[in-house]
Amino acid sequence: MSRVEQPPTTLLLANGTVFRGMSFGALGETTGEVCFNTGMTGYQEVLTDPSYAGQLVTMTYPHIGNTGINPEDVESSRIQVAGFIVRDGVTTPSNWRMTQPLQEYLVENGIVGIQGIDTRMLVRMIRSEGAMNGIISSEDTGLDSLKDKLAQVPAMTGLDLASKITTEKPYPWGKGAGRFKVVAYDFGIKWNILRILEDHDCAVTVVPAHTPAGETLALSPDGVFLSNGPGDPAPVKPAVKAVRELLGQVPVFGICLGHQILALALGAQTYKLKFGHRGINHPVKNLETGQVEVTSQNHGFAVDADSLDESVARLTHLNLNDDTVEGLRCLKYPAYSVQYHPEASPGTHDSRYLFEEFIRMLGD
């Protein structure tokens, strides 16, 4: 389908700004928090990352869809974003691994999107005013009715999305065999995390976000992994309670939302960032080695550094763009976490050593 054949589509922001473009994906209507990702590649991993649940994702790179879609690079069982916003959706992709065009993939999954708008203006607005709710519609052009619908969309702060997208019941990942037994809490886990744990000789059992500590310990794990996920970590109280009870029982490693939940279990606080960190080029300094890592990130909340009790945990990684907390290590128990994504899907492999550290802890 060429762009001229696609129906007109509207994006309305909570601040009243209107963008008129054309449909990209399924026809219909969708709402969510508008955010942006700065990656020049990796749109397939972005689309299928559960951490994007409830969000309308804007890609800052103008041409999206160049390499199409292939089944090897997905990070979950379906597209997770609430909507997709691009400058130009590529209709003639070319790649030897491609099995279908991006446009077709979006339609098959019922994902509403918009293209042909000034994404530079949109991103600058989000950076200036902060992430805000929006509505994309190819079926309703009336601004009054769109505003009424948008007013019903809840704010991201206080929203427990992890409990909505987690697995309903425990399941073994892959072959379910390995030297070490790891229980992975699913707050919105990415498949490449599970692939890497399996590659490091771990037999992984994935459990729901609300699994009590007692049920986890009944599986006799050598270690516990806390996954990434969407939304505000503060409302995920059952997980915070479980992690607090698991500390000192088994080694714990957390990523992204799992990092925030570990911090909450240690008595720290979290807060919402103005526009979040989403991309594959975020510089992070490892305070333990002095090295700077280029990292893949996707989060809208962060740990409050001032709330971190220095007698309980220490800061291990720092974001060089805005000095936010990117990692911590528990001083009393074998537990640590990072805010970014060392599984790097998409992104650099600078931080893969964090998985190796976890394996060493399991062997101690």
- Average pLDDT of adjacent 10-residue blocks, the chain of 364 residues: 71 98 97 96 96 97 96 95 97 94 97 98 98 97 95 95 96 93 98 96 98 98 98 97 98 98 98 96 96 95 97 98 98 97 82 93 86
Q: How many CB atoms lie within 10 A of CB 70?
A: 15
pLDDT at 348: 74
DSSP for residue 229: -
The tokens describing 159, both together, are 């929203």
Q: What is the pLDDT of residue 351?
A: 84
Give the pLDDT score at 3. 45
> What is the pLDDT at residue 176?
83
Domains and CATH numbers, the chain: 3-150 (3.50.30.20), 162-363 (3.40.50.880)
Cα(103)–Cα(113) distance, integer angstroms: 9
**Predicted TM-score of the model (pTM):** 0.95
CA pair distance 255, 284, nearest whole angstrom: 14
Burial class of residue 16, CB neighbours in 10 A (0-12, 13-18, 19+) = exposed
35 counts as catalytic: no
pLDDT at 4: 47
- Active site includes 341? yes
Given 33, 75, 293, 343, which residue is catalytic? 343
Does the annotation count 299 as an active-site position? no
Read off the amino acid at residue 183: V
Catalytic option among 200, 277, 282, 341: 341
CA 296 vs. chain centroid, Å, equals 10
Q: In what order do the strands lie in the sheet with 180-186?
A: 171-172, 202-208, 180-186, 223-226, 252-255, 335-338, 325-330, 313-319, 270-286, 292-303
Catalytic residue of the set 33, 35, 200, 256: 256
Burial status of residue 345 (CB atoms within 10 A of its CB: 0-12, 13-18, 19 or more): buried
Res 346: pLDDT: 79
The amino acid sitting at 226 is: L
Query: What per-residue confidence (pLDDT) applies to 156?
Result: 94
CB neighbours of residue 271 within 10 Å:
13
Look at residue 305 and give its three-state secondary structure.
helix
Cβ neighbourhood burial of 287 (10 Å; 0-12, 13-18, 19+):
middle
pLDDT at 352: 86
Bridge partners of residue 113, in order along the sequence: 84
